[in-house]
Structure 1
Amino acid sequence: MYPPSAAPPRTVARPQLVVVVLALGGIVVSLMQTLVIPLIPKLPELLGTSAADATWVITATLLASAVATPVVGRLGDMYGKRRLLLISLAMLIAGSVVAALSDTLVPMVAGRALQGFAAGVIPLGISIMRDELPAERLAAATATMSASLGVGGALGLPAAALLAENADWHLLFWIAAGLGAVVVALVVAFVPESNVRTGGRFDFVGAAGLSVVLVCLLLAISKGAQWGWASGRTLGLFGVALVVLLLWGRWELRAARPLVDLRTTARRQVLLTNLTSIVFAFAMFAQSLVLPQILQLPAGTGYGLGQTMLVTGLVLVPSGVVMMLTAPLSARITKARGPKVTLMLGALVVGAGYGLGTVLMSSVWQLVLVSGTIGAGIGLAYGAMPALIMGAVPVSETAAANSLNTLMRAIGTSISSAVAGVILARLTVPFGPVQVPSEGGFRLIMAIGCATALTALAIAAFIPGMRRPSADVEDGRRDEVVAAGSTKLA
């Protein structure tokens, strides 16, 4: 008989429906990342605040999601992944309602922070799939779930732009709350609760320490350009993050039930996959900062295309669609050659997309081609990352390990945003009474995106080779049984 922490997956009557519901949850959560983008220029007026303070509407979501992701992952492993999935979705609904009722800065920031706490939905969904689905379906299912992150972001921008231009902006958040409620109902109806749990005590000290590290680090990265990179506030936050990180690491190594098992994280396969995730996410996010600006800058600049926010969003839609269409291909390559090969191929395709972007940016169709190529690479790579992580960690640590990998991607995108922001702020040209980013600045970011994608390819080359995912999953379950049995005998 299997011990509770190592119970084999149950036979799910409708596995494809479980995948669809979980992927829909991922899409709805990722919509939150682009929901307010059309509103950013109007936020100071809408909320009666300054432009600098209005940026907290974005920053609050970033910080909350960073803190919530590893915490929710560990709690899911301990107390039930479906339970924590529903709690995360409830936070999304609550945050959407608070934001929908807001007309001033403070409640809007509070609502956006609550929305950020739902960021654990995607790693929790991947972990539920590992527990519940047959091994032969796992690669395709996790690839689809990973792709939902990009699909939601790509579809959210044009939808939000259309609503923002033609309706009361509060409607954006009411729709988000409604979508969240639909997903909750579907999860309750069709997603079973996993019986794979670790139990034990939650590491509150570890959670608090990691939260301090992440808040200080990401706050310094996201606000460094505004405060000044050499300012006392920015350097102080980096310093606090470093000191607390060292103390936190010492605590985690000694804790009986750590929030993050650093010994598992230090395994070559997990460590290199997480490092690749940071670099790859840096490359992935660069297009989100370049393409919309090129599309919307006035044609009078000589390189801007003078398009509306709605058209800009529609140009990015093919990228999300390609990500979802590439997910089955990612699974097939992973099954045939292993997830390492899939990840390397994805990085190579993203590098090629950015290489195209350095020379093709003079018309809408060219940017659609660039965006679609990068989207294909992201779909391949993001489908492989969960397989690499799950192939190297025990079943009882799946949610925590996937959550940490998701966090690494968030750190990569934050660094990308900061670096691109500095480049575009420094490389400008006059246009009438204002300075606008130069064409050379955009090409430089594209070149950096290509270089970082190739760097991710180089790092991924050192990841140990894996057998077929099904074999890894079965070995992981068998190892978990042995470990649990040893613990019981001890």
Structure 2
Amino acid sequence: MAAPQTTAPDRTGGVVATLALTGSLAAIMQTLVTPLIGELPKILHTSPSNASWVITATLLSAAVFVPIIGRLGDLFGKRRMLLACCAPLLVGSVVCALTSALLPMIVGRGLQGIGMGVVPLGISLLREVLPPERLGSAIALVSASMGIGGGLGLPISAAVAQYASWRALFWGAAVLTAAIAVLIRLLVPAPATRPAGGGFDAVGALGLGAGLVCLLLPVSKGADRGWTDGTTLGLFAAAAVLLAAWGAWELRVAEPLVDLRVTARPRVLLTNAASVLVGFGMYAQALIVPQLLQLPAATGYGLGQSMLAMGVWMAPSGLMMMAVSPLGGRLSAARGPKFTLVAGALAMATGYGLSMLLIGSTWGVLVVTLVCNSGVGLAYGAMPALIMSAVPLSETASANGFNTLMRSLGTSVSAAVVGVVLAQLTTTVGGHVLPSESGFRVGLLIGCGVALAAAAVAATIPAPPARALPEPAAGEPAPAAARDGAPA
């Protein structure tokens, strides 16, 4: 296999910045409608239950298409697929901006979900176009850009929704997508290495998509329908059958959508398991903190902030992820990405632990989000580095796509679990049923436990095979890869 092309040093900054902006765009698309949740039924002339599909459509679409787009990137070129992903993001934004009806809005949000594939594509492309000495910090920044975009996108979206038309959110997203597509075209080089080529596993794509829909639909809607509802249980059973059949097919086909033999390697398997837990831990506080901030002070524990003020209080956590990501890259270079992942998960657990003492004030909540998201920034930067150190160059995009799916699975389960906790532990204030303080504390303690579990799983990730490592010269320290596998 030809060696990866590296970009000239004076161009690497533009490449990394463009790919980080692309990842932030994907995160902004996910949080774009958050300020509109309460208004969506009126905007779309529908019920709250139907309006929730505007959120669910993006979740399902991203889960189905991200692994597929990752595989297409390996087959036909990651830069080409990055540009292709901008098309559904742009079209979906325009469709949402132009409609006031439920079905077109769901279609538009589904198209935006397809574009979430830019994240694993961008991370994987770095391995092909950057010099090795820049790779670790660049992976950390681009991977953390999902959290950065989410943290900064929320207050911006809230401000636009409050002071301008809600349609401006989608028009702004369309303009931003077009601008980033131009930057990709101008600043991101095409790798010198030819794409792997080969056939596309259409049966595997259909099987994985159907299985994920049957799994994630009841996870996201189970609280509304009831966890013992016949439809909910039927979908879970269908998911088990479809995903088992999909796995059997992938092991038989010559060119699978996801190479399960590579995924089953202990290094990849344990990283993906840790990713599910990190995704859960990341999302639990992201669900709980905004509600705490916005509940009226009359409850005795709510902090009485407006939507815009809530976004402003949460914005520093996004900036913290941006500040921490270069540190994570340097930490991975010095100690290896396994160490960084464990440190990140422990930092998340520390933030959750502090919440037991600090959630009574806005400044205390700010400290909690800063600590938690520092850990998220470290962990999100380390996971792709671990994955890429364990898979062939020709499978980096599909492997990172699968890892992104594992994170998304964690966030989906987190939403379901936290939703059940807050729905069960309630109080009545002024005739309104609200989540109780004990409900929030239980949700935060669950997040702490899951973060500790993520650290424990990450600690068991094995080092790469010794044969894959270069021998250091006499008297030189072993490279970071020798400790737990920095990406080569």
The TM-score with structure 2 as length reference comes to: 0.95
The equivalent position to 1:8 in structure 2, one of 4, 18, 27, is 4
Q: CA deviation at 1:470?
A: 6.6
Check conservation: 2:336, 2:484, Cα contact below 8 A. no
Q: Is the 8 A contact 1:196 1:396 kept in 2?
A: no
Q: Which AA in structure 2 matches 1:408? A: M
- Is 2:140 the counterpart of 1:168? no
Distance in 2, matches of 1:291 and 1:226, equals 22
Contact 2:337/2:485 (8 A) holds in 1: no
Secondary structure in structure 2 of the residue aligned to 1:303 = coil
How far did 1:243 drift?
0.3
Query: Which residue is equivalent to 2:232?
Result: 234
Cα displacement string for residues 141-199 of structure 1 (whole angstroms, at most 9, x for unaligned residues)? 00000111011101111111111111111000000000000000000001112234211
Partner of 1:419: 417
Paired letter, 1:73: G
Aligned to 2:37: 40
The residue that corresponds to 1:152 in the other structure is: 149
What is the correspondence of 1:235-250 to structure 2 with a 5 Å cutoff?
Answer: 235-250=233-248
1:179 aligns with one of 161, 168, 176: 176
The number of aligned residues is 473
Match for 1:77: what amino acid?
D
> 1:54 aligned to 2:54?
no
Match of 2:430 in 1: 432
User: 1:37 is matched by which residue type in structure 2?
Assistant: T
* Superposition pairs of residues 71-110 of structure 1, within 5 angstroms: 71-110=68-107
Partner deviation per Cα, 1:264-313 (whole Å, 9 max, x = no partner)? 00000000000000011101101111111111111110000110001101
For the 8 Å contact 1:338–1:465, the answer to whether it is kept is no
Find the aligned partners of 1:473 and 1:75 in 2 and give their Cα distance: 29
Are residues 354 and 474 of structure 1, via their aligned partners in 2, closer, same or farther at CA, if it must alter by over 3 Å? closer
> Which residue in the other structure is 2:329 paired with?
331
Deviations 1:223-249 (A, max 9, x none): 001111001110011001000111111
Contact 1:77/1:196 (8 A) holds in 2: no
How far apart in 2 are the matches of 1:266 and 1:474? 17
The aligned counterpart of 1:210 is: 208
Q: 2:129 maps to which residue?
A: 132
Per the TM alignment, residue 10 of structure 1 is displaced from its structure 2 partner at its CA by 3.4
Give, as a single letter, the amino acid of the residue that structure 2 aligns with 1:362.
G
> Residue 464 of structure 1 aligns to a residue in which SS?
coil
Alignment of 1:357-396 (within 5 A): 357-396=355-394
The one-letter code matched in structure 1 to 2:4 is P
After TM superposition, list the pairs within 5 Å mapping 1:309-320 onto structure 2: 309-320=307-318
Distance in 1 of aligned mates of 2:194 and 2:260: 21
* Partner AA of 2:158 in structure 1: A
Q: Percent identity?
A: 55
Runs of 4+ in 1 over 3 A off after TM superposition: 10-13, 466-477
Q: 1:420 to 1:74 in 2, by over 3 A?
A: same
Answer yes or no: is the 8 Å Cα contact 1:324–1:379 preserved in 2: yes
Q: Aligned-pair distance for 1:8? A: 2.3
Which residue matches 1:481? none
Equivalent residues of 2:336, 2:486 under 8 A apart: no
Q: Give the corresponding residue for 1:304.
A: 302
Displacement of 1:36: 0.3
Distance 1:97 1:81 in 2: 25
Contact persistence 1:72–1:120 (CA under 8 A):
yes
Residue in structure 1 matching 2:347, options 346, 349, 355: 349
CA contact (8 A) 2:154 2:311 kept: yes
1:359, distance to aligned residue in structure 2 (A): 2.1
Q: TM-score by structure 1 length?
A: 0.94
* 1:119 partnered with 2:116: yes
| Distance (whole Å) between structure 2 residues aligned to residue 460 and residue 305 of structure 1 | 36
Work out the CA distance in 2 between the residues paired with 1:359 and 1:475: 37
Equivalent residue number for residue 224 of structure 1: 222
Q: Could you tell me which amino acid in structure 2 is paired with residue 112 of structure 1?
A: R
Q: Tell me the CA shift for residue 366 of structure 1.
A: 0.3
Do 2:386 and 2:487's aligned partners in 1 also have CA atoms closer than 8 Å? no
